Structure formats: C-alpha cells, structure tokens
A and B are shown apart, each in its own frame.
Chain A
Amino acid sequence: MVLQTKEVVQQFGGLTAVNRVSMQIEDGQIVGLIGPNGAGKTTFFNVITGVNTPTAGSVHFMGEEITGIPAHEIVARGIARTFQNIRLFKNMTAQENVIAGMHTESQANLIDAIFRTKRHRTETLACEQKADELLELVGLYAYRYELATRLPYGHQRRLEIARALASSPKLLLLDEPAAGMNEQETADLLEFIRRLRGMGYTILLIEHDMKLVMSICENIYVLDHGELIAQGAPEEIQSNPRVIEAYLGKEG
C-alpha cells in the first residue's frame, strides 16, 4: 500500500473541511478525488502533504506514519504535488523551475557550493540533464530557457508536473491538472498521465473534468462537505444516487 489515511479530520475553527476521510491507494494506481466546489479536496491534499496537521486521524505513506511531519520532509519521503492555482517560480526559467524541484535529490552543502567541489559539480550536471529529460517528457524541452511565466497556460500546467516529478516521487498528487485546458490539451494530458502510470508512478488526482476522471481512474473517491459520500470504480460512481444528488444539488 502506498498511501493510507484513517479517519482524517480537518477543522478550521467551526468549519469541518474534511470529516473522517479514509483512503487507500495501492502501488501503481491512478485514483480520482472528486466533489463539488468547497468539498474539501484541496484541504485533503494539504493534510497529506504536511501543510496542515489534521485535527484527528492519521496518514501513512509506504507503511510509515507521516501525520504532522513538515512538508519539506514529506517531499523527501516521496510525495510530490501540483497546485490548483499554478505556483511556478516567476523569475526562473522552465529548466530552473524543474531544477528547483530537485532539492531533495542532491546533497551539496555550503562548503561544496563555495568551493565547487566534485560532489557539487557532478550533482549540478546530473540535475541539468535530468531536468532536460523531464522537460522532454512533458514536451517543453524547446522552452527550457523561457521564463516560466511567459509560457502559455497549458504549458505552465505541464511544467508544474515536470517540477513535481523532479523529486522522483513515489506518489504524485495533481490538483485539477486539466483546469483551464482546452479539449486538445486535456486529451494530451490524459495520454500523458497514462504514460506516467506506465513509468510506475502512483497518482492521486483531483479533477472536475469527469470525462478525464472516468477514463483513467480505476478508483474514485467522492467528497461532499468534507464527508466521503462514495468510493468505487468509475461505473459505480457514475450511477451512485448520492453522487448525482451532491452534484445536482450544488448546481440547482
């Protein structure tokens, strides 16, 4: 088992954003997390990635408890994420953004840096090479020297994924990766996520694009008002009356 959460609760003052959510993700799975706006999906990501310590419950990753561990240590253990609203580093190029994501992959300390020791030099070369490979993977190699903010929106989303992959994660959390993408870009993204699975990544994704979720996720969790209201294969979810009600209720 890659990820297991047990009865996770996250309260903000009087608001219960996530209420007793238990989830299990097996190695190599692509799991979807859906639900209406404000359901608590991003908050759940925040708990897993160490932004918030949950009010109650626990999170286990690769068999070890990671509840309440600081965010940067969780990255080092192998969980990387992207953001609902893109958060690339503005004054860095595409390549630099990806290299920034490799912090946990290298060891050079202040002394190595100042004296440019062998360790520093080998690591730097390796990082650049790996960054270029990742940029190639997401189809942005030609843009590697462009400032991240100058890339078109769809490219920025892919760059965020490349940056998340830079830390060689075991589990990848994608928060609405298709948001703002046109149909073609979404289709490409779908293809790309399938490729990632082929490469051995385990993926948990939040997405509002139902077509995308239903076609790649083997297991889907549905949140509404912080509660887990359904869980299962895409076909089960599509016909689940509670899910339909949650979505229609919101729209109506």
Chain B
Amino acid sequence: MNSIYQALAKRQGLVQILLLAAAAVFPLLVSNPYVIRLSILSGIFIILSLSLNLLTGFSGQISLGHIAFYGIGAYTAAILSKNFGLNFLLCMVAAIVVTALFGLLLGLPALKLGGYYLAIVTLGFSEIVRLVEINWMELTNGPLGINGIPKPALFGIKLSSPRAYYYMCLLLVVLTIVVIRNILESRIGYALGTIRGDENAAKFMGVNIFRYKIMAFMVSAGIAGLAGAFFAQYVTFIDPTSFASDQSTLVLIMVIFGGIGSLPGSVIGAVVLTLVPELLRSLMEYRMLIYGVVLVFMMLVRPEGLLGKINFKHIRQRCTAEPPDGKEGS
C-alpha cells in the first residue's frame, strides 16, 4: 500500500491531469442523463465536503450545520435571479458574499466555544436557518419553495443542457480545489494548522487566533454558498427539505470517510457516498442498511478515514530527499 501512495505522490501532477482529462471527456462518452445528473450531484457534494474539511479538518472547528450555508447560498441565488433578474454569475458572487457574512456571524461565538459546544451551536444555527426558510413566506415562499429559478445564460446563450451544467460544475469543483489548496499551502494554511494542532501553542507563533478562525468560517461558508447557488440554478426549484440537518450529517460523514484533513479524501468520500446509495437502489429497503454497515465497517477498520493519515506532500518530500542517517527514514 505504501508503495502505491509513493507512486501517486511522485506523479501527483500527472495523476491530477489524467483525472481532470477523464472528467472532461466523461460526458462526451456517456450521454445517459441520469448518469450526468449523478455526476453533477457528486460534484456539488465534493465542493461541500471540501469546504467543510477546510473548517473542520484543517482548522479543527467542528460544524454540524454546514448545510445551512448551502441553503443560504441557494436561496440568495434563487431570490436574486428570480425576483431581480440578476445574471447567474453575479448571483453566485452574491451568494458567496452573503454566506461568508453568515459564516462571520456563526464564527463569532465559535471563538469562545470549542469542541462539543461548537458542534451544538452550529447545529442550532442550521435549525434556525431551516425554520426561517420554512416560515418567512414573503422571502422564501415557505414550505412551497421557490420554483422557476432562471437557468444560467451567458451573452444570451442558455447554458442549460446537461453537459453545460456538468462542465460548469466541473469548473466550480476545480476552482474550489485550487482555492482551498492554495490557501492551505500558504502562511494562512500554516496558521490554521497551528490552531488545529495546539491552540495554546498557536498564539506563540504569532497567530491571531480570532482572525484565522473567523477567516476559516467565512471562506468555508462562502464556498458552501457557491455550491448552493449552483444547485439552485441547476434544479431550478428549491425548498427547505433540501437543506435539512441530515444533509449536514451526510457531508460530515463524507469528510470523515475520506479522511479528516485530506483534500483527495474529501473528493473520494463525496463521490463514493453519493454513488453507493444510487448503485444500491435496486436493493430497495436494504439500501440504507448496507450503507450503514459500510460506514461502521470503515470506522472500525480505518477510523482515520480512507486518506486521513496520508499526506502526499510529506510522502513526496521523503522520497525525493535522502533519508536521515540512512536508518531513520521510512
């Protein structure tokens, strides 16, 4: 197994290009709309789990209410495009900004709270958001939801074929990966790493914990909001059931399944856990049972998740450098 990781780590660039190429030609080879739809759904969950991983995995702040940001992004885009006729790109930007502000709002109590308390606060937050979605009729149309959300168009050209949506989604996924990776590889990533590792030691590195926790919340929320905005303009109908707290749990499971603190892990987790229930559809009522068993089995065999302890950067560095003393390295 180690040699597989080493091989992958050494050829990381090539692997990424091949994966991207495969994702790019996929809709040209497969035209089944159901498959394309599933792929887009996987893409949305990839974005959601990556953004949650940034917050929980890389900054050590548990959130059980991540789907609330997704919902806020979706409603923001839906209302702006339907009621104000805003261009879909602007809707997405607006969704990012609005959710990032809600991220700020939720991040503030997070500074005083940690661990379980934060988990409860985030859960409560997502319930409040859901109740607002259900009850604020004038804004959200309540349980009836918002339908007829305009489909995206650019320069008068409608981008509403399944393939167009697929490529848009792929673009957003790539964008999310690049943005999060760039943040993590910068001094901000190091600062978040110190907070995750040992908050009490972090401040002696000169890290302003307040600032970086808030930043993690805002960026993470903004990206989830982007996913929501895309979702709203894709399905063209949203209602509060899409943003219930079981969806938050699902995203958290994807992150844990793939490995806390692993970006490739989140991608794999999101894809696998979106597809498995669909593949098991023919088994009807046994579907969720099998799903549960797979998860329990996974946590027993590999509690850190698929790639939780696999850091490709470290593996690559170690294979390219000479081992210390020739004995210590592994």
Q: Is the pair B191, A103 in contact by a Cβ cutoff of 8 Å?
A: yes
Q: Which of B191-217 contact A (CB under 8 A)?
A: 191, 193-194, 196-198, 200-201, 203-209, 215
Kindly name the residue among A49, A75, A114, A120 whose own CB sees the greatest number of chain B CB atoms within 10 A: A114
Contact of B186 among A76, A89, A102, A113 (CB under 8 A): A113
Among listed A35-43, A79-87, A217-225, A239-247, interface-contacting one = A79-87
Task: Output the nearest chain A residue to B180 by Cβ-Cβ distance.
Answer: A114
Q: Is the pair B204, A145 in contact by a Cβ cutoff of 8 Å?
A: no
> Is A96 on the interface with B (CB-CB < 8 A)?
yes
A78 to chain B, nearest CB (A): 10
Using known A-B contacts A87-B200, A89-B193, A110-B219, determine if residue A72 contacts B179 with beta carbons closer than 8 Å.
no
Whole-angstrom CA separation of A204 from B203 in the bound complex: 20
Whole-angstrom CA separation of A115 from B179 in the bound complex: 8
Chain B contributes a number of interface residues (CB within 8 A of A) equal to 37
Task: Output the nearest chain B residue to A104 by Cβ-Cβ distance.
Answer: B206
Interface string of B314-330 (1 = CB under 8 A from A): 10011001101100110
Q: Is the pair B205, A93 in contact by a Cβ cutoff of 8 Å?
A: no
Kindly name the residue among B183, B187, B188, B322 whose own CB sees the greatest number of chain A CB atoms within 10 A: B187
Q: Is the pair B324, A143 in contact by a Cβ cutoff of 8 Å?
A: yes
Q: Which of B291-330 contact A (CB under 8 A)?
A: 311, 314, 317-318, 321-322, 324-325, 328-329
> Is A124 on the interface with B (CB-CB < 8 A)?
yes
Contact of A124 among B179, B186, B209, B321 (CB under 8 A): B186
Q: Is the pair B204, A108 in contact by a Cβ cutoff of 8 Å?
A: no
> Is A10 on the interface with B (CB-CB < 8 A)?
no
> Is A26 on the interface with B (CB-CB < 8 A)?
no
Q: Is the pair B205, A103 in contact by a Cβ cutoff of 8 Å?
A: yes
Residues of chain B with a CB closer than 8 A to A99's CB: 190
Which range contains the number of A residues in contact with the other chain? 35 or more
> Is A32 on the interface with B (CB-CB < 8 A)?
no
Residues of chain A with a CB closer than 8 A to B190's CB: 96, 99-100, 103
Residues of chain B with a CB closer than 8 A to A147's CB: 314
> Is A92 on the interface with B (CB-CB < 8 A)?
yes
Interface string of A138-160 (1 = CB under 8 A from B): 00001111110010000000000
Residues of chain B with a CB closer than 8 A to A229's CB: none
> Is A129 on the interface with B (CB-CB < 8 A)?
no
Whole-angstrom CA separation of A108 from B215 in the bound complex: 14
Residues of chain B with a CB closer than 8 A to A146's CB: 318, 324, 328-329
Residues of chain B with a CB closer than 8 A to A76's CB: 206
Q: Is the pair B201, A83 in contact by a Cβ cutoff of 8 Å?
A: yes
Interface string of A95-137 (1 = CB under 8 A from B): 0100111111010111011111000100110010000000000
> Is B258 on the interface with A (CB-CB < 8 A)?
no
Whole-angstrom CA separation of A106 from B207 in the bound complex: 11
> Is A5 on the interface with B (CB-CB < 8 A)?
no
Q: Is the pair A100, B200 in contact by a Cβ cutoff of 8 Å?
A: no
Residues of chain B with a CB closer than 8 A to A83's CB: 201
Whole-angstrom CA separation of A180 from B324 in the bound complex: 23
Contact of A145 among B185, B198, B318 (CB under 8 A): B318
Whole-angstrom CA separation of A5 from B122 in the bound complex: 43
Task: Output the nearest chain B residue to A120 by Cβ-Cβ distance.
Answer: B186
B202 to chain A, nearest CB (A): 8
B322 to chain A, nearest CB (A): 8
Q: Which of A8-49 contact B (CB under 8 A)?
A: 49
> Is B261 on the interface with A (CB-CB < 8 A)?
yes
Residues of chain A with a CB closer than 8 A to B209's CB: 72
Q: Is the pair A71, B203 in contact by a Cβ cutoff of 8 Å?
A: yes
Whole-angstrom CA separation of A93 from B312 in the bound complex: 12
Kindly name the residue among B188, B196, B311, B322 whose own CB sees the greatest number of chain A CB atoms within 10 A: B188
Whole-angstrom CA separation of A102 from B190 in the bound complex: 9
Contact of A142 among B196, B207, B261, B324 (CB under 8 A): B324
Task: Output the nearest chain A residue to B184 by Cβ-Cβ distance.
Answer: A113
Contact of A81 among B189, B197, B204, B215 (CB under 8 A): B204
Q: Is the pair B188, A143 in contact by a Cβ cutoff of 8 Å?
A: no
A177 to chain B, nearest CB (A): 15
> Is B241 on the interface with A (CB-CB < 8 A)?
no
> Is A200 on the interface with B (CB-CB < 8 A)?
no
> Is A194 on the interface with B (CB-CB < 8 A)?
no
Q: Is the pair B197, A91 in contact by a Cβ cutoff of 8 Å?
A: yes
Q: Which of B147-165 contact A (CB under 8 A)?
A: none
> Is A195 on the interface with B (CB-CB < 8 A)?
no
B326 to chain A, nearest CB (A): 10
What are 25 inter-chain pairs, A to B, with CB distance below 8 A?
A50-B203, A72-B204, A72-B208, A73-B206, A75-B205, A80-B204, A89-B193, A89-B198, A90-B198, A92-B193, A100-B193, A100-B194, A103-B191, A103-B207, A104-B206, A110-B188, A113-B182, A114-B183, A115-B182, A142-B325, A144-B321, A145-B314, A145-B317, A150-B328, A163-B205
Q: Closest 6 interchain pairs by CB?
A: A113-B186, A142-B324, A104-B206, A89-B197, A75-B206, A71-B203
Other 13 A-B pairs with CB < 8 A, given A93-B317, A144-B321: A70-B208, A72-B206, A72-B207, A72-B209, A91-B261, A92-B197, A96-B193, A99-B190, A100-B205, A104-B205, A108-B187, A113-B188, A167-B206
